[in-house]
Amino acid sequence: MFRDALSVLPRVHIAFAVKANPNLAVLKLRAAEGYGADVVSGGEMDRALAAGIRAEGIVFSGVGKSAAELVRALDAGIGQFNLESEEEGIELAALAAARGLTASAALRVNPDVDAGTHGKISTGKAENKFGVPYDLAAGMYARLSALPGLEMRGLAVHIGSQLARLEPLERAFARMGDLMRTIRAAGQAITHMDLGGGIGVPYKAGDVFPAPADYAAMVARVTADWDVTLMFEPGRVIAGNSGVLVTRVIRVKPGVTVPFVIVDAAMNDLARPALYDAWHDFIAVTPSGERMVANIVGPICESSDTFAMGRDIDAVKPGDLAVFRTAGAYGATMANTYNSRALVPEVMVDGDRWAIVADRIDPAAILAAERVPEWLV
């Protein structure tokens, strides 16, 4: 859908942001749909390659790529390195030149635009750790362009995630266009512009978000005279509403004002509410038609293990199955085993077919990977 919306643009490469949902079967599907991949670690690069995504279609982003990761990515022949500092570019150039290679790179710029999203998923304000300062970017681009081992081919920007409005994106893209013209006027080449991801999705029934077609129309307007290959790195808008977290009600406990519905999913399975105060709609698998107002919590021993407070929901009782919706992006990928809980399994569903695409990793397997030093006993 997102892909189709962008087909109004002339030259486009869409790299799925692997961190949103890195499951191997999901990435296989992306490969079949023709997506490249935006990766932020060597581990994600390996997944994208294992799924059959072509190395040239992979963009390596991330503020802390290690020398070992840069070398592995060079050896794999990945298509574009998004540099987050001049220092990283100098290091990459030296590593590539030493191997007789030339790395294609873009410089990630921090446009100092407020994305209007949650502070913890905002990345394009001057004080954020991402990208290089806007005013220094042209100078850096010129110096990096002169280095052997590096082919600077463009600029990259990504101002944050779960963006509800197009206006901050439009402002950031317009600023990137100005910078592109300044750099070209100084004699350096720009053939690619990477506009990142960040398009938000509705989590709450009734929320209205910009449609992919509106995003595409805005991009077409802003970039009409750019004459570049446009690159995109969407994650959430593709994966978010393709997944749910299935959970069972363990118990309903009276509270001071409203009852606590204690479910067997917790913040270790779906971290977003604890991390970003995120909302996930909660619905019973077999609704009775009755409603209740409740706090929905998991079993973990942290008060932040709370999915919702005072929420009007389908009435549920112990043993009932329910789902948290919109868990397809930044869901299982952020899961952990806190409180020695199992690592959440993943199931792919296609019409009436389904398959387990990630096993539940039980606490016993994690315990088996731990060692007691012999000097302790």
Ligand X SMILES: *Cc1c(COP(=O)(O)O)cnc(C)c1O
- Please, what is the minimum distance in Å from the beta carbon of residue 235 to ligand X? 3
- Please, what is the minimum distance in Å from the beta carbon of residue 240 to ligand X? 8
Site for ligand X in 60-79 (CB under 6 A): 61
Site for ligand X in 314-373 (CB under 6 A): 329
- Please, what is the minimum distance in Å from the beta carbon of residue 81 to ligand X? 12
- Please, what is the minimum distance in Å from the beta carbon of residue 238 to ligand X? 8
Tokens of 296: 């929905």
User: Which of the residues 1, 205, 256, 301 is marked catalytic?
Assistant: 301
**Contact flag: residue 161 with ligand X (CB under 6 A):** yes
Residue 332 CA to residue 161 CA, distance in Å, equals: 17
CB-nearer residue toward ligand X: 201 or 283 = 201
**Contact flag: residue 197 with ligand X (CB under 6 A):** yes
Which of these ranges, 14-22, 25-33, 207-215, 297-305, lies near ligand X under the rule CB under 6 A?
14-22
Tell me the Cα Rg of the chain. Answer: 23
- Helix runs in the chain, H state only: 2-5, 24-33, 42-50, 67-76, 86-98, 134-145, 167-185, 212-222, 236-239, 272-276, 363-368
Please select the residue that binds ligand X; options are 36, 124, 235, 328, rule is CB under 6 A: 235
Tokens of 21: 């949902």
Q: Which of 43, 1, 4, 34 is nearest to 16 (CA)?
A: 34
**Contact flag: residue 233 with ligand X (CB under 6 A):** yes
Please select the residue that binds ligand X; options are 65, 153, 158, 280, rule is CB under 6 A: 158
Residue 42 CA to residue 49 CA, distance in Å, equals: 11
Catalytic (active site) residue 301 = yes
- Beta-strand relationship, 282-284 and 321-324: antiparallel
CA angle 345, 238, 214 (to 5 degrees): 160
Task: Cite the active site residues.
Answer: 301
Q: Which residues bind ligand X (CB under 6 A)?
A: 17, 19-20, 38, 61, 158, 161, 196-199, 233-237, 329
